[in-house]
């Protein structure tokens, strides 16, 4: 497969990817877009030119502020439509000959502003990495019994806050909150001293289901449009004081950053791998067949005050103990309905090695082992002015499909 749009071998946005996003174009209108290399392609104008006439698309489905109406069409439309776009962007296609239209719909990535790709009605955060749950259990509770008794039986999760999910580039204000300092006998109020990232991935659901409907592990992937990088910003000192008995609240709900491109499950399918063996055996409604994990390389960088990119973590989505099908099956087994645009995040994705942990909490072991930056400073947690960047990509047999990045600067709370 060769595109007539040139791109570097190491681009996340090869002809094999064809992700979806929403962009502000010419500083005047928004449209659904895809991307090859550093070329962003306006799907609304491509649609108006008649290239998608074989599909029964609602009016203005790409001429929109979000992808919700598009992804809500379901895989019967979105899968062949993505394949059509992929075919149009190959050498020798009808669009290849149509140079006049190309001039109208091709934009340089640096000239567009990427927006939130979806309106997110609901957001849930899981806790599905056994390495992360074990590390946090050791630090917050009991080093001997780090995993709680339910953890290997239930994909543990909590309902997060959808209103504060923002797209890459949106600055994050250090949150204020209530904490209980070590050794103190009364809580204090002020900006968090332990601001952290969480390296996660989220999946976007493509349908509204009825209350009472459970989605089985067998059908779960039919409901998953695609995935994004997801930074679940966390304030560890606020979390430690507030989380018992009902779990995370203000330590988590102030912000989450997502990547602007939704990479479809179909683009990720060549990178399927088996998940870790689940022992003890899970209940029947959580059992599944086939490879449901995905080999996605993940990286976290901290950009220090001199502008150096410091690689602080290298992890992989394939480490997840619970897969997305199990998460969705569990979430709906009681009849809870889902909505198109919902995001379900994985929980922090840590590997076994010290440099594969997905949060500063784990990388510095609660602040005890600071990380050295290239500018000579140290980090226990994230400081004002730091930029945190998540990156993710799949690579096999020279074919690369990636997510670009989810990046945000932390700014002081004045």
Residues that bind Mn ion (CB under 5 A): 125, 198, 232
Min separation Cβ 243 and Mn ion, Å = 12
Q: Which is nearer to Mn ion, 166 or 401 (CB)?
A: 166
Q: Which is nearer to Mn ion, 347 or 404 (CB)?
A: 347
- The residue whose two tokens read 């090859």 is 36
Q: Which is nearer to Mn ion, 57 or 154 (CB)?
A: 154
Beta-sheet strand order (sheet of 29-36) = 106-108, 39-42, 29-36, 21-25, 113-115
Q: Which is nearer to Mn ion, 125 or 304 (CB)?
A: 125
Residue facing Mn ion at closest CB distance = 232
Min separation Cβ 196 and Mn ion, Å = 10
Q: Which is nearer to Mn ion, 203 or 271 (CB)?
A: 203
Min separation Cβ 357 and Mn ion, Å = 13
Give the residue from 316, 321, 224, 317 showing the smallest Cα distance to 282.
321
Query: Is 16 an active-site residue?
Result: no
Q: Environment class of residue 335 by beta-carbon count within 10 Å: exposed (0-12), middle (13-18) or buried (19+)?
A: exposed
As a whole number of angstroms, the distance between CA 131 and CA 129 comes to 5
Neighbouring residues of 333: CB distance < 8 A, sequence distance ≥ 6: 214, 285
As a whole number of angstroms, the distance between CA 13 and CA 39 comes to 9
DSSP string, 233-284: -EEHHHHHHH-TTT--STTTTT-EEE-S-BEEHHHHGGGEE--PPPSSPPPG
As a whole number of angstroms, the distance between CA 374 and CA 96 comes to 45
Q: Which is nearer to Mn ion, 112 or 408 (CB)?
A: 408
Min separation Cβ 342 and Mn ion, Å = 16
The active-site residue, picked from 16, 119, 132, 330, is 132
Neighbouring residues of 219: CB distance < 8 A, sequence distance ≥ 6: none
Tokens read off for 127: 């806790």
Cβ proximity of 32 and 47 under 8 Å: no
Min separation Cβ 200 and Mn ion, Å = 6
Min separation Cβ 125 and Mn ion, Å = 5
Cβ proximity of 192 and 237 under 8 Å: yes
As annotated, the active-site residues are 132
């Amino acid at each position: 497969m060769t595109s007539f749009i040139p791109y570097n071998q190491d681009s996340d946005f090869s002809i094999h990817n064809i992700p979806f996003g929403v962009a502000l174009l010419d500083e005047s209108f928004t449209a659904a877009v895809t991307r090859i290399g550093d070329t962003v392609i306006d799907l609304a104008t491509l649609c108006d030119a008649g290239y998608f006439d074989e599909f029964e698309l609602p009016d203005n489905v790409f001429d929109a502020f979000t992808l919700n109406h598009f992804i809500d069409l379901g895989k019967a439309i979105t899968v062949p439509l993505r394949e059509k776009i992929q075919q149009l962007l190959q050498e020798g296609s009808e669009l290849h000959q149509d140079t006049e239209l190309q001039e109208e719909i091709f934009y340089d990535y640096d000239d567009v502003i990427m927006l939130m790709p979806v309106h997110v009605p609901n957001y849930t955060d899981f806790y599905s990495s056994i390495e992360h749950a074990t590390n946090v259990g050791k630090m917050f509770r009991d080093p001997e019994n780090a995993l709680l008794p339910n953890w290997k039986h239930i994909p543990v999760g909590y309902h997060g806050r959808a209103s504060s999910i923002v797209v890459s580039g949106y600055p994050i204000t250090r949150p204020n909150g209530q904490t209980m300092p070590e050794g103190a006998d009364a809580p204090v109020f002020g900006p968090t001293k332990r601001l952290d990232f969480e390296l996660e991935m989220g999946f976007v659901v493509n349908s509204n289901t009825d209350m009472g409907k459970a989605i089985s592990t067998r059908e779960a992937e039919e409901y998953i449009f695609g995935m994004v990088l997801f930074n679940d910003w966390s304030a560890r000192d606020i979390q430690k004081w507030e989380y018992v008995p009902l779990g995370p609240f203000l330590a988590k709900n102030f912000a989450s950053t997502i990547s602007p491109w939704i990479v479809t499950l179909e683009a990720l399918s060549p990178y399927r791998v088996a998940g870790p063996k689940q022992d003890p055996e899970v209940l029947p409604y959580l059992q599944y067949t086939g490879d449901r994990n995905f080999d996605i390389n993940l990286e976290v960088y901290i950009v220090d005050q001199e502008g150096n990119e410091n690689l602080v973590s290298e992890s992989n989505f394939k480490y997840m103990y619970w897969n997305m099908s199990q998460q969705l099956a569990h979430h709906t087994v009681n009849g809870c309905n889902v909505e198109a645009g919902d995001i379900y995040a994985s929980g922090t994705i840590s590997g076994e090695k010290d440099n594969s942990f997905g949060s500063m909490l784990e990388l510095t072991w609660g602040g005890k082992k600071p990380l050295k930056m290239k500018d000579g400073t140290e980090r226990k947690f994230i400081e004002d002015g730091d930029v945190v960047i998540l990156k993710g990509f799949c690579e096999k047999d020279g074919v690369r499909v990636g997510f670009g990045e989810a990046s945000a600067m932390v700014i002081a709370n004045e």
